[in-house]
Amino acid sequence: TGRVWIASDIHLGPGTPATAAAFYRFLDQARAQADVLVLCGDIFDVWIGDDYALDAPPEWLATALAKFRQAAGALQLWLGRGNRDFLIGPALADHIGARLLPDPVILRTDAGRLLLAHGDQYCTADRSYQRFRRIVRSPAVQAAFLKLGLGLRRAIADRARRRSMQANRDKPAGIMDVENDAVRRAFRQAGVRLLVHGHTHRPAVHRLDLDGQPHTRIVLPDWDYDHAPEPRGGWLQIDAAGPALHQAPK
């Protein structure tokens, strides 16, 4: 497969120009150095339907789409969906020349097979989130939402973001991380030794023993050059030499 780069949680939107600029520098570098670029969810701060992007996108989004298309002209671009942009669909993927990935998905790389996920599905201690997730991932609810006008969809999404931010302020940090049981189950079910995910914004390489075998869980960083005290972002490179986390330049 050649050199695979994986990034997640960029949260592109109208209010984060510095993050977008840093991410576009990363896309240029990926075009020159990677064969496959995988974005595994929360690429956008929120996604309310592909029609929003394709008929009359606002300027920040038109720029993002052009950058993605340009990247997809030079490498294979694969898109996974996260808890904020799970409504990304085939129309967007077609438009930018990307391929949509299921979540989770097993990828074959030069370093072996790995399980790639956004990561929110493993935060099983967060019961209120998992309840919310079941509702918004139901095809009937999504179909009904996508029939609403864009203004109403936007208002509902803003409301959900605000409620979520309020809820997060009150949640103990522990329940916003993945649960070991969920991770072990995912490893066993996939029969792989490497899990890569984002979502928790806690970049790290975790080693664990499972059934007497060493396993590795790599957590991707989120990107924030607009509001964080120190700009941050990064990606995972995987090639025959194995996986390596890279920090984006400040």
Q: Residue 142 and residue 129: Cα distance in Å, rounded?
A: 17
Using an 8 Å Cβ cutoff, are 54 and 89 in contact? no
Instruction: Return the one option of ligand LP5, Mn ion, none that residue 126 interacts with (CB less than 5 to 8 A, by type).
Output: ligand LP5
The yes or no reply on residue 82 touching Mn ion (CB under 5 A) is yes
- For residue 8, state whether it binds Mn ion (rule: CB under 5 A): no
Nearer Cβ to Mn ion, position 42 or 126? Answer: 42
Site string for Mn ion, 167-186 (x = CB under 5 A): --------------------
Residues that bind ligand LP5 (CB under 6 A): 46, 48, 83-84, 87, 120, 123, 126, 128-129, 132, 136, 141-142, 145, 156-157, 159-161, 163-164, 167-168, 171, 176
Phi and psi at 185, nearest 5°, equal -60, -45
Contacts of 246 (CB under 8 A, 6+ apart): 234, 235, 236, 237
Q: Between 39 and 75, whose beta carbon lies closer to Mn ion?
A: 39
Q: Which does 6 bind (CB under 5 to 8 A by kind): Mn ion, ligand LP5, none?
A: none
Residue 240 per-residue DSSP state: T
Identity of the residue, 33 or 138, whose beta carbon is nearer to ligand LP5 in the bound complex: 138
What percent of the residues of the chain are helix, what percent strand, and what percent coil, each to the nearest 5? 40, 25, 35
Alpha-carbon distance 101 to 197, whole Å? 13
Q: Which residues are near Mn ion by CB under 5 A? A: 42, 82-83, 199
